[in-house]
Every structure is written in structure tokens, then in C-alpha cells.
A and B are shown apart, each in its own frame.
Chain A
Amino acid sequence: MRYNFNWPVIWRNADRLYDGLLLGLAIAIVALAAGCIIGIALAACRQSRSPLLRLPATAFVEVLRNTPLLLLVFFVYFGLPELGISAFDNLQCFTLTLAIYSGAYLTEVFRAGLAAIPTAYIEAGKAIGLTSWQRLRYVILPVLFRIVLPSLSSTLISLFKDTALAAAIGVPELTYGARWINVNTFQVLETWTVTAGFYLAASYVIAVVLRRVERRYAMVR
């Protein structure tokens, strides 16, 4: 059978891909930022001595890490309205889901990071009379972020790739745009080659930028 390549039709519709790419990046960054907050909070809970904090946090993280993301997306998108919360649209639902999901993954990262902070730093903070809040703000958090920076950048890349799942609930990101072009032009090979190229290029650019950031800030251990 013959297949006629027709690239111009892809470029004519490439707006959907550009916009989708930017939306995917935005979702990933928001999810990572929110995930950091959730992750730090859960990591602190898991280190706490009280089982009332530790056990629910552990269960939450373990269940989320073992659940398919697509299932979580459907659960939040279709399940929340049943609980009487119908204020979120599909984009907000997806971002929320991805934030919680990344929070569960980052909990492990932050837990390892907290364990890697030299106790001498915290003792030094105590010695110069910082309160526990000041120690958190000026000693623990800055060091923690510099320790976990490499993990954060790989998490951002995998979150960006996970944004493809948003297409399943109709968020107009890159995969959704690609599918639109695919079903409207039937130029299958061109559409998906270009889309794959977009994902590759974006992941590559993120990796390069973050490696520069890492070289500037990451902790030398």
C-alpha cells in the first residue's frame, strides 16, 4: 500500500502542538511545586514518632505509589463530583492528581534527603540560638533542597512525560493535540513523529537547563 507523506498539514496545525507543549510544561512545574510541599509534609509525618501521623502517611504514600496514574486521574475527575466537589475543571483535576502523585513519590526523596542532612548542621543551628522554626527555614530546608536537587530534576522530566495522560480527560496538551491532528488529517506517521520529537526536545532542554542549575546549586557530598 502507498503512503503519501504530507508534512505541511502538520505545520499548519502545529499551534495545537506548541500550545500543548507549553501547557504540559506548566502542569508539570505546578505539580512539582505542589508535590514538593506535599512531599516534605509527608516525609516529616513519616519521620514523626507519633504513629497517628506516621501510619496514615505511610499508607497514603504506599497506596499512591502502587496505583496507576490513569486510575487516579479518573478517580479524581469522575469521583470528586460524586463527593459534592464539582468546582474543578479537567485541567485543575489533572494538575491536582499529578501534584498528589508526585507528592507521594517525592516523599521518599525528601525522606532520604532529610536523613542525609548532617546532624552537625542542626546542632550548629541550635548552638547559635535559632528556634526550631528558624532552624527549619534557614538550615534544614536550604540544605535539603540542595541535596535532593538531582532527584527533583529527574522527577520534573518524568512528570512532564506523565502529562500525556491528561489527554484521557480532554486537557488540550501535546498528546491531545497530536490525536486531534491524527484523526483530522490521517497523517499518522508525521503526526506522531513530530509529537515524539517535541517530547524528546522538551525533555532534553529541561535536562540541560536543570543540569546547569544543579552544577550551580547541588550539594557536593
Chain B
Amino acid sequence: MDLIGLRHEIFVARWTLLSGFTTTMEVSVLVIIIGTIFGLLLGLGLTYGNRPLRWLIRAYVDIIRGIPALVLIFFAYYATSLIGLNVSPFGAGVFALGAFATAHIGELTRGAVQSIPQAQTDAAKSIGLGFWKRLAYAILPQALRRMLPSWVNIASEMVKGSTLLSLIGVLDLLLAAQQAIARSFLIIEFYMALMIVYFVINFTISRIGAVVERRMAYVRF
């Protein structure tokens, strides 16, 4: 382990590594936001939609969940050029990972919403709340709490999944480090350093999740 050499090489490549880190964080945040918004919508559609809508969403969710994220990324990357869209690797990658996250969060939302006892809906109906108010005041506040631990898992999966974008040429943290490795041959050192970085990112996410969970957990079942 050549830690002095590693420090020097990190300094030499600091701007590339920094921009790689920024890209990784950008991809992760974008994908998590996209996945959460559309996933919640799909999950509600799966629970409350009419039959054709449910079938459509079910097909989408099951197909996407059955395909490796890498295949989705290649598909999006190579296929967007065909329909005349000049999408950057970054855009194609975020699109593919976002579609992936959407399917997973959709399924998660469905499970959480359906796990809320029917009595809750009945109670909300009996005090005269309409559909949207029932959702906003009775169902979602409970369902979102139940989703939180798995949502945190999916979020950290997406941070890890963002490395796949390096395979279509997005200069993320992994690709930036590989460029530094190509110059310095400090293979073990750089990959170990990356492991620590990803560990810290994911550990932070899971800590934040745990804190939020504790603060929100005033409903006990």
C-alpha cells in the first residue's frame, strides 16, 4: 500500500475526481427524485387504478424489475440515438436508472399502501373525507412511514447503481478513479479509497434514514 503515492495522485487528479464525485452525486440524487415521484404515482395507480391502468403498470413494473439495470442502461444509451434524440450518456443513464428506480419504488409503494388496514380508510370515509383527502391525511402519512426503511435501501442501491453509468462513458467517480489508476497504477489503493467513499455515502444515507424514521415514528401498530 503506497499511501503517500495515493495522496499525491489524488492531488494530481483532484479536479477529475471531484467532478466524478459530483457526477455520481448528481446521478444518484436525480435518480432517487425521479424514482420517488413516479414510483409513488405508479404505486397509487397499482392500488386505486381501474383494471386496464393496473395491468399496464403491473406489466411495466414486472418487466423492468426482471431486467438487469445494466441492460436498461445500454438499451437507453443505444436506442435513444435511433429515434433521432441526441441524448448524452448522462441523460440516457439517468433515464434508465430512473425507470429502474420507478419500478422498484412503485412496487414498494403498492405494498405499503395495501398494508394499511381497511379500517383506516373506512374511518376516514365515515368522517366525510373524499378520496384525495383520505390519501393525504389518512393513508399516505402511514404508508410513507412504513416505506421508509426499504426506500433507504433503494436509495443506496441507486448510489451503487450509478457506477454502471461509467460503462457508457459517463465520467463518474469510478471512471475518474480508473483514469487516475491508468496514470499511476495504484490499483489497490484507489479502489480501496473508492470503497471507503461509497461506504461513507451509503452509511450517511442509512443514518439519515434511521434518524428520520425515529423522529417520524409516533404511530405504533
Contact partners of A75 in chain B: CB under 8 A: 187-188, 191-192, 195
Q: Is the CB of B70 within 8 A of A164?
A: yes
Q: What is the CB-to-nearest-CB distance from B61 to chain A, in angstroms, rounded to a whole number?
A: 12
Q: Is the CB of A71 within 8 A of B75?
A: no
Given contacts A66-B202, A79-B191, A182 and B71 within 8 Å (CB-CB) = no
Is A120 interfacial (CB-CB < 8 Å)? no
Interface residue from B74, B75, B84, B161 paired with A68 (Cβ < 8 Å): B161
Is B203 interfacial (CB-CB < 8 Å)? yes
Q: Is the CB of B160 within 8 A of A68?
A: yes
Number of interface residues of A (CB under 8 A): 36
Contact partners of B15 in chain A: CB under 8 A: none
Instruction: Choose the segment among B34-42, B119-127, B128-136, B162-170 that binds chain A (4+ C-beta atoms closer than 8 Å).
Output: B162-170
Q: List 6 A-B contacts (CB under 8 A).
A: A71-B163, A71-B195, A78-B187, A162-B68, A164-B68, A199-B67
Is A133 interfacial (CB-CB < 8 Å)? no
Q: Is the CB of A188 within 8 A of B78?
A: yes
Is B174 interfacial (CB-CB < 8 Å)? yes
Q: Is the interface of B mostly helix, strand, loop or mixed?
A: helix
Q: What is the CB-to-nearest-CB distance from B97 to chain A, in angstroms, rounded to a whole number?
A: 13
Interface residue ranges of B44-101 to A (CB < 8 Å): 63, 66-71, 74-75, 78-79, 82-84
Q: A155-170 vs B: 1/0 string, CB under 8 Å? A: 0000001111101100
Is B199 interfacial (CB-CB < 8 Å)? yes
Interface residue ranges of A179-221 to B (CB < 8 Å): 179, 182, 188-189, 192, 195-196, 199-200, 203-204
Q: B136-160 vs A: 1/0 string, CB under 8 Å? A: 0000000000000000000010011
Interface residue ranges of A52-103 to B (CB < 8 Å): 62-63, 66-71, 74-75, 78-79, 82-83
Number of A-B contacts (CB under 8 A): 102
Given contacts A82-B188, A178-B74, A66 and B67 within 8 Å (CB-CB) = no
Q: Is the CB of B74 within 8 A of A200?
A: no
User: With A1-B84, A63-B199, A79-B187 given, can you name 9 additional A-B contacts, CB distance below 8 Å?
Assistant: A1-B82, A3-B82, A63-B195, A67-B160, A71-B163, A74-B174, A82-B185, A161-B66, A161-B69
Q: Is the CB of A70 within 8 A of B74?
A: no
Q: A79 CA to B159 CA in the complex, in Å?
A: 23
Q: Is the CB of B82 within 8 A of A68?
A: no
Contact partners of A1 in chain B: CB under 8 A: 82-84
Contact partners of B163 in chain A: CB under 8 A: 68, 70-71
Q: Is the CB of A189 within 8 A of B66?
A: no
Interface residue ranges of A131-177 to B (CB < 8 Å): 161-165, 167-168, 175
Interface residue ranges of B166-202 to A (CB < 8 Å): 166-167, 174, 178, 181, 185, 187-188, 191-192, 194-195, 198-199, 202
Q: What is the CB-to-nearest-CB distance from A74 to chain B, in angstroms, rounded to a whole number?
A: 6
Interface residue from A74, A79, A161 paired with B68 (Cβ < 8 Å): A161
Contact partners of A164 in chain B: CB under 8 A: 68-71
Q: What is the CB-to-nearest-CB distance from A174 to chain B, in angstroms, rounded to a whole number?
A: 8
Q: Is the CB of B202 within 8 A of A83?
A: no
